[in-house]
Structure 1
Amino acid sequence: MDRVLVIGPCGAGKSTLSTELGERLALPVHHIDQLNWRPGWVEGGKEELQAKLDEIIAGDRWLIDGNYGGTMTARLARADTVVYLDYPVRLCLWRLLRRIRTYRGRTRPDMTEGCPERFDLAFFFYVMNWNRGPRRRTEAKLDGHESKVIRLKDPAALRIWLSALPAKPLVHD
């Protein structure tokens, strides 16, 4: 695993997993939220985000955390592994609420400084409707890439998969 995508519903734990995988595999981790958002929750432009991602995916080794469907085609083409946290929406909503409670008013480690965690009703509804829209679009983008997708349906499956990976960073020349 040299070029890894971690995808799934918001609140599934993509950023937490990405940090751990990055350490285990000695891969540089790139959180798309950090690439996209500016302080004060100002969204960067699509072209700016794509340019940043193009530079990253041109490299030999990376891990990118996040869905951002408009950028997924290019990332999928270069990825050798896609870890898909295909978790139930109810679990993601619970984790999202827990994340808001934990970080409320503070910036998460995987987010741009100056973007404090907050409750956003529209974002909550987006997650509630994951199976009706975003999931379908994500699944469509994965067509043709099934051989590189590791689909994990719950945290227990993730723990089992992680237990088979090396616990220490691999040495790369």
Structure 2
Amino acid sequence: MRRVLVIGCPGAGKSTFARRLRDATGLPLHYLDMLWHNPDRTTVTRAEFDERLQRILEEDAWILDGNFARTLPKRLEYCDTVFFLNFPTDVCLEGVEGRSGMKREDMPWVEHEFDEEFRQYIIDFPAERRPQMVDALEDAAARRGVRVHTLTSRAELVQALADVLSGLEVGRARACLTFIMYRYATYWASR
């Protein structure tokens, strides 16, 4: 596992999971939102975004957090592992509501409110976005042997991290797992 995608509906916990994965593996983490958005809430051009993304894709190891459906086929050509957070809509809505007003390392600004357009995007995600993702993941798994882990609950997230850690040296794995379990327990308990 050297080139990893973390994808799924907004609010599922992609960025939190990606950070824990980074902490456990030491792989560099890149947020697609940070490649696309400027601090003043404008965006870069598609060409500039594509150039930034291509530079990362050509690196030996990385974790990429985010959807950006237009670039998913390209990212699937480079990755070896995908974690697809396929959570129920209510869980995703709660996730976004819970992070409003919080500073996040995956966004260049603080969102102070959960706007109706974004809420509707999340509600529509299962019908309008998920089927294309699933098709692309199935194709990448069949054609290239990409390992796809579809996670449907917080418990499966924790288990996936434990599975990753089982491949690490014992001392580091134990330290990382203790840290991750503590962080997940305190993070989700506050919800």
Name the SS of the counterpart of 1:64 in structure 2. strand
Paired amino acid for 2:148: V
CA separation in 1, counterparts of 2:163 and 2:135?
A: 29
The residue number in structure 1 matching 2:67 is 67
Q: Distance in 2 between matches of 1:160 and 1:126?
A: 28
Give the Å deviation of 1:140.
2.5
Are the aligned partners of 1:108 and 1:117 in contact in 2 as well (CA < 8 Å)? no
2:121 aligned to which of 115, 118, 126: 126
Distance in 2 separating the partners of 1:161 and 1:116 = 29
What corresponds to 1:55 in structure 2?
55
Q: Which has the higher contact order (CA 8 A, sep 6+)?
A: 1
Distance in 2 (CA, whole Å) between partners of 1:77 and 1:14 is 20
2:104 to 92, 103, 108: 108
Structure 1 length normalisation: TM-score?
Answer: 0.88
Amino acid at match of 1:21: L
Percent identity of the aligned residues? 34
3-state DSSP class of the match of 2:63? strand
Q: Which structure features the higher share of helix residues?
A: 2
Which residue identity lines up with residue 76 of structure 1 in the other structure?
L
User: Secondary structure at 2:60's aligned position in 1?
Assistant: coil
The root-mean-square deviation of aligned C-alpha atoms, in Å, is 1.5
Distance apart, 1:161 and its partner CA? 1.8
Is 1:95 the counterpart of 2:89 in the alignment? no
Q: Secondary structure at the match of 1:82?
A: strand
Normalized against structure 2, the TM-score is what? 0.80
Q: Aligned residues, how many? A: 163
Indicate yes or no: 2:140 matched with 1:141: no
Residue matched to 1:11: 11
Other structure's SS at 1:41 match: coil
Contact conserved, 1:7 with 1:66, CA < 8 A, in 2?
yes
Q: Does the 8 A contact of 2:17 with 2:157 survive in 1?
A: no
Q: Which deviates more from structure 2 when the two are superposed, residues 67-76 or residues 138-147?
A: 138-147
Matching residue's letter, 2:56: I
Structure 2 unaligned blocks of 5 or more: 166-172, 177-191
State the AA in 2 paired with 1:86: N
Distance 1:165 1:142, change over 3 A: closer
**What is the CA-CA distance between 1:78 and the residue it aligns to?**
0.6
**What runs of 5+ residues in structure 1 fail to find an aligned partner?**
none
